[in-house]
Structure 1
Amino acid sequence: MDQSKDIFGLDSKYNIDFQEVLRFGNEKKKVARRRWAILAKALKSPSESQPSSPTDEFSVRRISSFMLLKTQELHVVPIMSPENQYCDQFKKRTWYKYSTRVNGTDYFINVGHRNRTFSAEDLMGFNNTGNVCIWPSEETLSYFVCSNLGHFLNKSVIELGGGMSCLAGLFVAKYGNATSVTVTDGNKLSVDNVQTTIKCNEFDIEVKCHVFKWSSFEPSYQYDVILCADCLFFDDARADLIECLWNCLANDGIAYIMAPERGDTLDKFILQSESRGFICKKIVNYSTVVWEKRLALLDNCDYNDNIHYPVLIEVTKF
């Protein structure tokens, strides 16, 4: 078998937009074909391969990158709180510094990337997309966070569905002067990765991280601020997410939801949220920098606003 080809005869550098895979839910054969192509590409990637990022020439999301984050590989594990039980986990990851610059100030988080040992279940499971790479909605939400740190001063914050990095929530924890930050995902592999990442960053507050299933959430605490990036595309989970938001959000709190239109999935979320009692404010131009990045991409024939451009929704109860 030609090792430069995947199981469908595609070149190993073939670019696959996973957002498109999720968009065409009715075309089952096309979805299956593309998923298997992603699986084949991931499974045969060398363990030292770069993560999908704005600087990765062959990233599966390079068209949808807004170049807001820079990545730098760290050749020494940046251990801030060494604990014996995490030593093996540190070694199983390649470490990167994710940084962004806002108004002349640099912000960064050290992120561990699991070496490429994905199984079919990892890639094709319901809530595993966050294990593949950092998607544009998390990228733009992280930039939004760093541009509006005052929103989090003395606030309790939770990130829902933060994937393998929970990047936006960790930026809040490190720079937002929040009273507490909790980062979550529904997938244990993602949470394990974030727990290891937390050990390799310095925070002035305790950062909690745990598996959080929207459908089984039992409210014991409500948060001032909720962050959520690109969690709207699964129709079956939308009602659970909205109910989770309602139970998690304090009466005077606010949720910042970042997601592309992706067909009518964003509008359906807004409609169902308003039916539940939320007030939703849809903001297309929430950052001059991000907007200019978008305008620069409009001439790219592979760029599609509906799929690639994250929109901000501010969700409140009153």
Structure 2
Amino acid sequence: MDQRKDVYDYQSKCSIDISDLIKFAGNEKKKVARRRWAILAKALKSPTGSEPSSPTDEYSVRRISSFMLLQTQQLPSMSVISTDVRLLDQFKKRTWYSYSMQIDDERFSVNVGHRNRTFSAEDLMGFNNTGNICIWPSEETLSYYVCNNLDIFNDKKVLELGGGMSCLAGLYVAKYGRPKSVTLTDGNKISIENVQVTLECNKFDCPVDSKVFKWNDDSFTEWYDVIICADCLFFDDARNDLIDCLWRTLSSDGLALVMAPERGNTLDCFMEQSQKIGFSCRKIVNYNEVVWSKRLALLDNVEFNDNIHYPILIEVTKS
């Protein structure tokens, strides 16, 4: 997929008009794509200072494709103890939400900040900007999988790639997985700025840091025991960089958990290319019974497209 164009061949430097998007005739399968681009259009057209897209925003495809595994609640207030003037300024520019999930008798919760101002065209057209808008299903299901399998991360060095605005799965690992350390990354500096502020509003028992990291940066060669990655396969041009990055950063006996929908043949292409350089890939369609039952319940929904909405788990290891 070319990052400079959308599905209707709009150039990235052109303005995006919601009314133009809605005018396009098409079948039911195109509706979700239109809504997703309407999120970007709404962000560009909204006045500065307006509320960010929330998990219940009327334009958000989460209303159609969410698996309802996360509960969100806006927090009336948040406090942070810091003398860093810049940090305090960034803190005030956000609305804070609690993202929580219930698994058996245990409740897992992290705090995430949403920027109060809208996003500029430069912000949205940056390297993988999709994580700046809302929590997508792959992030949601990866977070749920993480909290159901916390033993994977015990005493491990963990890296999240392409974590977007929240690095949500990585936050759950850091707070509940008893890892040795967690590094949260994304290629978009706006996303990482948000993550850095978010880290100040959560308590962790291990070192947690965040940084801007583009997958083709071969100077980043530190090894990790576990790497997690949600919905990072849809840019064809970046797939080789992602696979090379995994090869450089995954330890010889490490495990990468890649969560993504089929989305045409993008997932299969990822597996084929990964195997060519020496990875072993295990494709797991039914990785959690709760998620699977949610999928089955959505199959009759005309807005739900299994190919683009249902995330599949790929376990990646070095042969």
Shorter-chain TM-score tier? 0.7 to 0.9
Question: Aligned pair 1:241/2:242, yes or no?
Answer: yes
* Preserved CA contact (<8 Å) 1:18 1:61: no
The within-5 A match list for 1:99-118 is 99-118=100-119
Q: Normalized against structure 2, the TM-score is what?
A: 0.87
CA contact (8 A) 1:79 1:201 kept: no
- AA matched with 1:49: E
Change (3 A) 1:147 1:34: closer
Among 20, 29, 50, the alignment partner of 1:8 is 20
Partner of 2:9: none
Give 1:272-283 correspondences, 5 Å limit: 272-283=273-284
Residue 95 of structure 1 aligns to a residue in which SS? strand
Distance in 2 separating the partners of 1:251 and 1:118: 40
Kept in 2: contact 1:164–1:193 (CA 8 A): yes
CA distance in 2, matches of 1:18, 1:163: 24
Q: Normalising by the residue count of structure 1, what TM-score does the alignment of the two structures yield?
A: 0.87
Cα distance, 1:245–1:187 mapped onto 2, change above 3 Å: same
- Change beyond 3 A, Cα 1:34–1:258: closer
1:296 and 2:297 are equivalent in the alignment: yes
The equivalences for 1:50-61 within 5 A come to 51-53=53-55, 55-56=56-57, 58-61=59-62
> Quick one: structure 1 residues 9 and 178, their matched pair in 2 at CA, closer, same or farther if it must change by over 3 Å?
closer
- Residues 34 and 157 (structure 1), Cα distance of their counterparts in 2 relative to 1, 3 Å cut: closer
Residue 11 of structure 2 corresponds to none
The 5-angstrom pairing of residues 19-98 of structure 1 reads 21=33, 35=37, 37-45=38-46, 47=49, 49=51, 51-53=53-55, 55-56=56-57, 58-79=59-80, 83-98=84-99
Cα gap change, 1:171 to 1:185, in 2 (>3 Å): same
One-letter code aligned to 1:160: L
> Does structure 1 conserve the Cα–Cα contact (< 8 Å) formed by 2:127 and 2:187?
no
Distance 1:34 1:135, change over 3 A: closer
Q: Does 1:132 pair with 2:133? A: yes
Gaps of 5+ in 2: 1-16
Does residue 215 (structure 1) correspond to residue 227 (structure 2)? The answer is no
Distance 2:89 2:22 in 1: 35
- State how far apart, in whole Å, the 1-side matches of 2:114 and 2:281 are: 34
Tell me by how many angstroms 1:302 deviates. Answer: 0.7
Q: Which residue of 1 aligns with 2:227?
A: 226
| Cα root mean square deviation, aligned | 2.4
**1:19–1:307 contact (8 Å) kept in structure 2:** no
Q: What is the number of residues matched between the two proteins?
A: 298
CA contact 1:186–1:211 (8 Å) conserved in 2: yes
Change (3 A) 1:132 1:49: same
Does the CA-based 8 Å contact 1:52-1:60 persist in structure 2?
A: no
Deviations 1:84-115 (A, max 9, x none): 33111011111000001112200111000012
Q: Is the 8 A contact 1:78 1:110 kept in 2?
A: no
Paired residues of 1:72 and 1:96 also in contact (CA < 8 A):
yes
Secondary structure of the structure 2 residue equivalent to 1:77: coil
Deviations 1:194-220 (A, max 9, x none): 000000111111201000111013244
Unaligned runs of 5+ in 1: 22-30
Distance in 1 between residues matched to 2:313 and 2:21, nearest whole Å? 39
- What aligned pairs does 1:142-291 form with structure 2 within 5 A after superposition? 142-291=143-292
